[in-house]
Every structure is written in structure tokens, then in C-alpha cells.
């Protein structure tokens, strides 16, 4: 592969990671507040289908994107309502919605299958695009990819540097303590679940109005992305930059699968397409293994310096979820 092709590929990986990034950042915000939104897989499909349908009907990509965000926000609201107000298991509600939204997108998307509709195009940034190498990689993308770069920094800044971000972290870590400090815990959780849902909902239109323009039903290749998003959220340790790294890693692995295809003719293409999925989830093994009891048990007998080094590595890899994740909050 020559240099130009490589540079274009890197730019392609960045663009391909954009929808995953939106979804991961949205989920991270929601989980930081304590709401696990497991519906991601179906929600992305539904928002992809719904936003394409809206864009097709109105011939407006902007309305398409808004529809995608609205669908994400609505599904997140249902998760929040069922779990925060009605005290149902977040995992159960999320799983049911994941299935329901998936079937709903296939059912409602049937009439618009394979139609050609509007899509967003690349917007090279003047001057900057002419920087060698970097210009192609960073500054000849579409608007949503630019936005995905901004989103990482913005999310990090909000969560770790601002006052409301501090309250957000508090609500997720110890809701009772946030409550006595004046936070309306359930309202905060609703708000961030819905905001997170809206951000994640943009992943759908990024697919259906850009990367994989159109709606192709069960062969869209989008089924499964949502589950990956959830595992990248864990891999990212609920931190935007680490999560972004995970999203780029996933996009890179997918690209690698495509590149390796010609050199591995004996492996069916369907296998390479799903290869990043198990790989991504196996990485969870590395970020979680430090939590396992037997690791402690066997580490205890090692010489002190070895033990410290291993413990240090494990701690760096380890991701601790917000303590209040998934558990309801009762004032008393």
C-alpha cells in the first residue's frame, strides 16, 4: 500500500469511528449519571431508519439528524421512566427495547428499503485541508466527523472541569450524598439519560445519511454495533478520551478486516466482518481481569516487586464503573 492510500485509509477510519464515538460518549454520559441504557443496539437501528425516512420525506438532512437525536432521546426517556420512576430492572428494560426497536426498524423501514435519499458530503476546511498528511486526515471530513472530534473534548471538559459535570459524577457515584447537597437525583438522571440518548441517537443518521447512506434492512450491517458501543463504554472506563481510543481501535480493526480480505481468500468475508466484534469484547477481559478474586489470591504469593508491577499494570487497565450505576435511588 502506498502512502497516499494509507493516509486516505486513516481518514476513513476516523470517519467510520464517528457514529461509534457519538454513541459511546452518549452512553458514557448516561452511565455517569447512573443510568445503563442497554437499548443501544436497537436504538441505533431505529434512529438510522427513522432519520433516513424523515430525510427522504422532507429532503432535509438536518431534519433527518434531528429525528435521529429525537428517537435516541425518546428511547432513553423510556429506559429512564421504566427504571427510575417505575423501578424496573435497567438491564431488562434496555434489553427489551433493544429487541423491540430492532424489529420496529425492520418493520417500519420495509417500504423505504433500498431507496436513494439525501446524504451529507465532505466539507473540506479551507487552508487547513492543504496541510500535508494532516490535512487529508483531519480536514477533509464531513461535518459530523468534525463534530465527533469536538465532542470528545467537550464531553471531557464538561464531566471533569465544570460544576454541573461534578454534580453529574456525584449523582452516579453516590446519589444519597448528591441528594443532601441539593441535587435532584432522579431529575439529573432523567436529564443526562435523555441528553446521552440524544447524542447516541445521532449515530443512526451518521450511518444512514453518510457512511452507509440509505436503509437496507437486515443487511444494513448495523445490527451488533450497539452492543460494541456498550463494551467500548466499559473499555473506556467512563472517560471520554479512553472511550474515543476504543472507538478508533474498533474502526481500525474493521478496516483491517477489509484490507486483509484479499490476502486471506480461504476465510469467507462474513467472518472477517464480524472479527472485530469478538476481539473488542475480549479486550474487556483485560480491563476486567483485575477485579477477579483468584487474581488477588495468586498475586498474594508472588515476590513483592513482581506483585507491585503486575498490580500497577492491572490498575492502569482496570475500569471501575460509577458506584451507583443501575441501582435505584430512594430518598429514605
Partner 1 sequence: MQVEVRGITKCFGAVRANDDISFTVPSATIEGILGENGAGKSTLMKILSGFYRPDSGDILLDGKKVEIDDPADAIRQGIGMLHQDPLDFPPLKVIDDFLLGKRGGLLPRRRAVIREFNELAARFDFSIDPESYVDTLTVGERQQLEILRLLWLGARVLILDEPTTGISLPQKEKLFATLKKLAAEGMTVLFVSHKLEDVESLCNRATVLRQGRLVGTMEPPFDTKALVGMMFGKEVPQEPKAQPRMGGTVLHARQVDLEGIRIQIKGVDLKVRAGEVIGLAGMEGSGQTLFLSACAGLAQPVQGSFCLDEEEKDMTGRTYHEFRKRGVAYLPAARLEQALIPGLTLTEHFILAEGMKGFFIDRKKSEELARRRISLFNIKGRPDSPVESLSGGNQQRALLALMRDPLKLILVEHPTRGLDIESTIYIWGKLKERCAHGTAIVFISSDLDEILKYSDRVLVFFAGKVTPPLDARTLSVERLGRLIGGKDWDRLETEAAHA
Partner 2 sequence: MRDTRANRLLFQIGAVLFALLVTVLVLFLAGAQPFAAYKYIVLGALGSWDVVTNVLVSWVPLLLATSGLLVTFTVGLWNIGIEGQITLGAVFTTWAMRLLQDSGWNPTLILVLALLAGILGGTLWALLAGVLRTFGGVNEIFGGLGLNFVATALNIWLIFGPWKRPGVASMSGTLPFDRALWMPIAAGSSRLTPATLVMAVVGIIAVYAMIEGTYFGLRLKAVGKNPKAAYILGIPTWQNMMASFAICGVFAGLAGAVQVTAVYHRLIPSISSGYGYLGLMVALLVGYRASLAAPVALFFAALNVGSIQLPIILKLDSSLAGVLQGTLVLFVMLGNGIRARLIKKGT
State the sign of the Cα–Cα–Cα–Cα dihedral 133, 138, 142, 143. negative
Looking from the CA of 248 toward its CB, the CA atoms found within 13 Å total 14
292, 302, 313, 323: residue in contact with partner 2 (rule CB under 8 A): 292
Strand partners for 30: none
Min dist CB 116 to partner 1, Å, is: 44
**Interface with partner 1 by CB under 8 A: which residues?**
161-164, 166-167, 169-170, 173-174, 176-183, 296-297, 300-301, 304, 307, 320, 323, 331-332
7, 213, 281, 325: residue in contact with partner 2 (rule CB under 8 A): 281
For residues 49 and 204, the answer to whether their CB atoms sit within 8 Å is yes
Q: In this structure, what C-alpha cell is assigned to residue 256? A: 483491517
Residue 321 DSSP class: P
Min dist CB 20 to partner 2, Å, is: 15
Work out whether 298 is an interface residue with partner 2 (CB under 8 A): no
Question: Rounded distance, CA 144 to CA 171, Å?
Answer: 30
Q: In this structure, what C-alpha cell is assigned to residue 217? A: 434492512
157-163's contacts with Cβ under 8 Å and 24+ in sequence apart are 159/29, 159/32, 159/240
The count of chain residues that interact with partner 2, using the rule CB under 8 A, is: 53
Of 31 and 142, CB closest to partner 1: 31
Min dist CB 326 to partner 1, Å, is: 17
Q: In this structure, what C-alpha cell is assigned to residue 332? A: 429514605
For residues 69 and 227, the answer to whether their CB atoms sit within 8 Å is no
23, 168, 243, 280: residue in contact with partner 2 (rule CB under 8 A): 280
Query: What is the distance of C-alpha 1 from the center of its chain?
Result: 30
Min dist CB 104 to partner 2, Å, is: 5
Of 116 and 300, CB closest to partner 1: 300
Q: Which residues bind partner 2 (CB under 8 A)?
A: 38, 78, 81-82, 85-88, 91-93, 95-97, 99-104, 106-111, 217, 224, 227, 230-231, 234, 266-268, 270-271, 274-275, 277-278, 280-282, 284-285, 288-292, 294-295
Amino acid at each position: 500500500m502506498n502512502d497516499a492510500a494509507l493516509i486516505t485509509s486513516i481518514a476513513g477510519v476516523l470517519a467510520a469511528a464517528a457514529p461509534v464515538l457519538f454513541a459511546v460518549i452518549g452512553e458514557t454520559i448516561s452511565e455517569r449519571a447512573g443510568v445503563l441504557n442497554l437499548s443501544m443496539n436497537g436504538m441505533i437501528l431505529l434512529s438510522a431508519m427513522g432519520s433516513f425516512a424523515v430525510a427522504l420525506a422532507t429532503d432535509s438532512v438536518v431534519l433527518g439528524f434531528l429525528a435521529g437525536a429525537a428517537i435516541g432521546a425518546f428511547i432513553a426517556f423510556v429506559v429512564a421512566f421504566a427504571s427510575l420512576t417505575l423501578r424496573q430492572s435497567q438491564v431488562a428494560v434496555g434489553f427489551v427495547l433493544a429487541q423491540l426497536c430492532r424489529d420496529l426498524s425492520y418493520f417500519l423501514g420495509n417500504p423505504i428499503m433500498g431507496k436513494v435519499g439525501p446524504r451529507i458530503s465532505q466539507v473540506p476546511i479551507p487552508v487547513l485541508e492543504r496541510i500535508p498528511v494532516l490535512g487529508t486526515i483531519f480536514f477533509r471530513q464531513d461535518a459530523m466527523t468534525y463534530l465527533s472530534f469536538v465532542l470528545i473534548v467537550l464531553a471531557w471538559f464538561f464531566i471533569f472541569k465544570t460544576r454541573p459535570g461534578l454534580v453529574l459524577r456525584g449523582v452516579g457515584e453516590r446519589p444519597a450524598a448528591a441528594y443532601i447537597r441539593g441535587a435532584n437525583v432522579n431529575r439529573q438522571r432523567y436529564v443526562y439519560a435523555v441528553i446521552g440518548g440524544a447524542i447516541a441517537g445521532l449515530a443512526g443518521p451518521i450511518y444512514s445519511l453518510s457512511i452507509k447512506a440509505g436503509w437496507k434492512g437486515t443487511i444494513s450491517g448495523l445490527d451488533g454495533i450497539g452492543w460494541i458501543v456498550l463494551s467500548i463504554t466499559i473499555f473506556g472506563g467512563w472517560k471520554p478520551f479512553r472511550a474515543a481510543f476504543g472507538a478508533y481501535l474498533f474502526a481500525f480493526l474493521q478496516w483491517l478486516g477489509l484490507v486483509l480480505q484479499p490476502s486471506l481468500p480461504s476465510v469467507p468475508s462474513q467472518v472477517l466482518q464480524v472479527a472485530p466484534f469478538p476481539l473488542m469484547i475480549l479486550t474487556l477481559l483485560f480491563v476486567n481481569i483485575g477485579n477477579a478474586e483468584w487474581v488477588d489470591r495468586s498475586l498474594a504469593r508472588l515476590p513483592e516487586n513482581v506483585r507491585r508491577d503486575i498490580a500497577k499494570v492491572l490498575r492502569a487497565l482496570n475500569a471501575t464503573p460509577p458506584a451507583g450505576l443501575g441501582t435505584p435511588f430512594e430518598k429514605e
